[in-house]
């Protein structure tokens, strides 16, 4: 026994010795670092996506690597989307359809209790892990990172009084929660913004000499509501230059009942209200201002990385947890299985990847986990349900690709290169031809012309529809409260 302990001690000392590293340590040092950037509620209005936002640094990152023009989240809501990306599992597999506390992503859920979360996997393979800001729903499970900058409380700073929106709208205050939605110029300077402080934290660590490869997560709060940033960012977008989104008041007349229930969000501004009040251009102006603020902060990160010792050996991935509607489909929110709510920016840059390449094929955030493992030359994790995008980025994968988004139990949408098919728990369906109808105005599910396309997309629907994880909930929307209460009844259908 003593001999065994002595050998273990000597082996541990040898691995930790800086002067005489072992082969394993040398191999670890050759592995690329990872800069993992999450931006909350960011849709694809970026310049590199052809949008109106002034984003020199998002565009710069796209030119450094590969941009996916048709990437989609696994859930159009922060908590389940991030849980899916970090576990590598679909919401329909885990039952995490709503918000879940960071420390309960694993908990006693039979699918996740023994899962290795994305940052954990890198830690287990010799990486020094660091993280700050919103990476999971709040920050991260306890002890996830070797070096944690912690969560950022709330979405402040906040003015003493809201500028426009009271947070309740026309909702029943006892039945619905209160949204933090509001818009206006606040505070006076960038340094008061939590995201600026998070980048300061990350910059200090990027300038450190590292003995091991690192995994650094930086989670931005903006462009999550309230849409508050300093006035200088609003000044980039004069109101008379703002164009509002395509909108038809009768747009929802041909969608199923469940789609309308999910879209029943009276606490949020409606598009009709925004038109009548004249606030629609102002909301878009504020959203664009927030994007440009985040763009500036990302530029600070990229500048630091390029000047550091890690410039030539760092993988960068940038993603958003879901899209965001700015008046499309009658409201200002995510919360839907339509394209503008599921479509997200997704950009990879790495030493061996092409530069300035854009890919139009559908992709999933579920692929972030296995893609990072392949780019870092780490063993594949057999629990991942997504597929690595490395072959696609290198031009070696011509198979048809699909992106699946789930919102609540047994509500799924499938995005192919040209079409979107959606089926809800009540059997209601939607089908859109994006070549002819990119705004998804006309539901073509009953059009016999598309029967073969619909049949093929139906084959992609998840076979498993797990019951709601008991630790996951979404009380903001009555439909999901009721659905969870029905529990396992739906899974038996």
Distances 28 to 24, 143, 377 between C-alpha atoms, Å: 6, 22, 10
Token look-up 């780490």 returns: 378
B/e letters for 313-322, b = 16+ CB within 10 Å, e = fewer, are ebbbbbbbbb
3-state secondary structure of 479: helix
Residue 202: is the preceding peptide bond cis (ω within 30°)? no
Outline where 127-268 has alpha helix (H): 194-206, 231-234, 257-262
Please say if 137 is a catalytic residue.
yes
**Are 125 and 378 in contact, with CB atoms under 8 Å apart?**
yes
- DSSP label at residue 269: P
- Is 290 noted as a catalytic residue in this protein? no
Task: State the DSSP string of 67-98.
Answer: EEEEEE-SSSSHHHHHHHHHHT--HHHH---S
d(CA 49, CA 354): 18
d(CA 97, CA 409): 7
Which residue is catalytic, options 73, 78, 335, 412?
A: 78
* Ramachandran sector of residue 198 (left: φ over 0; alpha: ψ -120 to 50; beta: rest): alpha
Q: Exposed, middle or buried, 300 (CB in 10 Å: 0-12/13-18/19+)?
A: middle
- Continuous segment of H or E residues that includes residue 130: strand 128-133
Using the Cα atoms of residue 139, residue 141, residue 143 and residue 144 in order, give the sign of their dihedral. Answer: negative
Whether a cis peptide bond, with omega within 30° of 0, leads into 285 is: no
Indicate which residue of 72, 128, 137, 335 is catalytic.
Answer: 137
Residues 373 and 381: beta-carbon distance below 8 Å: yes
The burial of 439, by beta-carbon neighbours within 10 Å (0-12 exposed, 13-18 middle, 19 or more buried), is given as: middle
Spell out the residues 6+ positions from residue 173 whose beta carbon is closer than 8 angstroms to its own: none
What Å distances lie between residue 140 and 122, 149, 222, CA to CA?
A: 15, 10, 18
Q: Which two tokens stand for residue 133?
A: 């800001």
The catalytic site residues sit at 78, 137
């Amino acid at each position: 026994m003593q001999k065994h302990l002595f050998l273990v001690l000597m082996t541990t000392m040898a691995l930790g010795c800086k002067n005489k590293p072992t082969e394993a340590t040398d191999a670890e040092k050759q592995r690329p670092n990872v800069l993992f950037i999450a931006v909350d509620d960011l849709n694809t209005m970026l310049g590199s996506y052809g949008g109106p936002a002034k984003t020199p640094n998002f565009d710069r990152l796209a030119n450094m690597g590969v941009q996916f023009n048709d990437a989609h989240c696994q859930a159009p809501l922060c908590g389940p989307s991030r849980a899916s990306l970090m576990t590598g599992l679909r919401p329909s597999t885990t039952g995490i359809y709503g918000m879940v506390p960071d420390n309960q992503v694993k908990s006693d859920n039979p699918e996740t209790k023994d899962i290795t979360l994305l940052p954990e996997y890198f830690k287990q393979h010799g990486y020094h892990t660091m993280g700050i800001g919103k990476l999971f729903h709040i920050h991260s499970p306890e002890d996830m990172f070797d070096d944690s900058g912690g969560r950022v409380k709330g979405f402040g700073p906040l003015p003493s009084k809201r500028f426009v929106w009271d947070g309740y709208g026309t909702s029943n205050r006892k039945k619905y929660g209160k949204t933090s939605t509001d818009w206006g110029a606040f505070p006076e300077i960038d340094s008061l913004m939590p995201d600026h402080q998070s980048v300061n934290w990350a910059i200090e660590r990027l300038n450190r000499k590292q003995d091991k490869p690192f995994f650094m997560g930086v989670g931005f709060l903006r462009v999550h509501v309230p849409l508050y940033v300093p006035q200088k960012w609003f000044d980039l977008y004069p109101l008379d230059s703002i164009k509002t989104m395509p909108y038809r008041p009768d747009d929802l007349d041909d969608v199923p009942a469940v789609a309308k229930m999910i879209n029943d969000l009276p606490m949020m501004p409606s598009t009709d209200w925004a038109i009548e009040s004249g606030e629609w251009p102002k909301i878009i102006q504020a959203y664009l201002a927030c994007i440009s603020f985040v763009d500036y902060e990302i530029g600070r990160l990229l500048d630091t990385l390029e000047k550091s010792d890690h410039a030539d050996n760092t993988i960068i991935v940038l993603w958003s947890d879901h899209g965001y509607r700015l008046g499309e489909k009658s409201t200002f929110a995510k919360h839907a299985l339509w394209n503008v709510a599921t479509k997200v920016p997704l950009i990879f840059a790495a030493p061996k990847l092409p530069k300035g390449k854009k890919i139009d094929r559908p992709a999933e955030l579920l692929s972030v986990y296995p893609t990072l493992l392949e780019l870092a030359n780490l063993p594949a994790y057999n629990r991942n349900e997504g597929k690595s995008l490395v072959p696609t980025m290198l031009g070696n994968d011509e198979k048809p690709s699909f992106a699946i988004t789930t919102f609540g139990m047994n509500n799924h949408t499938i995005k192919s290169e040209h079409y979107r098919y959606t089926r809800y728990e009540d059997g209601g369906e939607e089908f859109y031809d994006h070549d002819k109808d990119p705004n998804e105005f006309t539901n073509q599910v009953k059009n016999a012309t598309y029967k073969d396309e619909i049949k093929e997309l139906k084959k992609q629907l998840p076979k498993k529809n797990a019951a709601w994880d008991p630790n996951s909930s979404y009380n903001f929307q009555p439909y999901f409260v009721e659905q969870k209460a029905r529990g396992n009844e739906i899974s038996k259908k």
